[in-house]
Amino acid sequence: MSHPTVTVKIREALAYAQGRATTLGRTQQLEIGTDLFIRIAPGGRRFLLFTLDGEPERTAAEAIAAALGLKNPEYGWHQGETLRSLTVIESGSEIVAEAQSASHDEG
């Protein structure tokens, strides 16, 4: 039995995942485009943006940060074993070193 396809606006999907990350205290991952993925960290104030082939564009990260309502986001890069991810952390929301450490765990 196949399930019906449901179309939602990307802002709604991001807000839902951000809410789950906050409520459940667990990382939420979404595929938000062709070969573009986001992992929203627990608390919902930081995320990783990655592709399976190449690197994500900073403009995409900026648009997502705005959609998630992040204030003064800080952008950086994380090199995992197989993927290079763009990291976005809301300035002042957490200790940056702690957030970067968590991004290593997720990558």
Q: Residue 3: what pLDDT?
A: 78
Question: What is the arithmetic mean of pLDDT over 100-104?
Answer: 47
What percent of the chain stands above pLDDT 70?
86
The pTM (predicted TM-score) of the whole model is 0.80
Task: Please tell me which residue, 45 or 106, carries the higher pLDDT value.
Answer: 45
Model confidence band, residue 6 (pLDDT cutoffs 50, 70, 90): confident
Task: Please tell me which residue, 24 or 8, carries the higher pLDDT value.
Answer: 24
Q: Residue 4: what pLDDT?
A: 82
pLDDT at 100 over 70: no
For the CA atoms of 107, 23, 16, 78, what is the dihedral angle to 10 degrees?
A: -20
What percent of the chain stands above pLDDT 90?
70
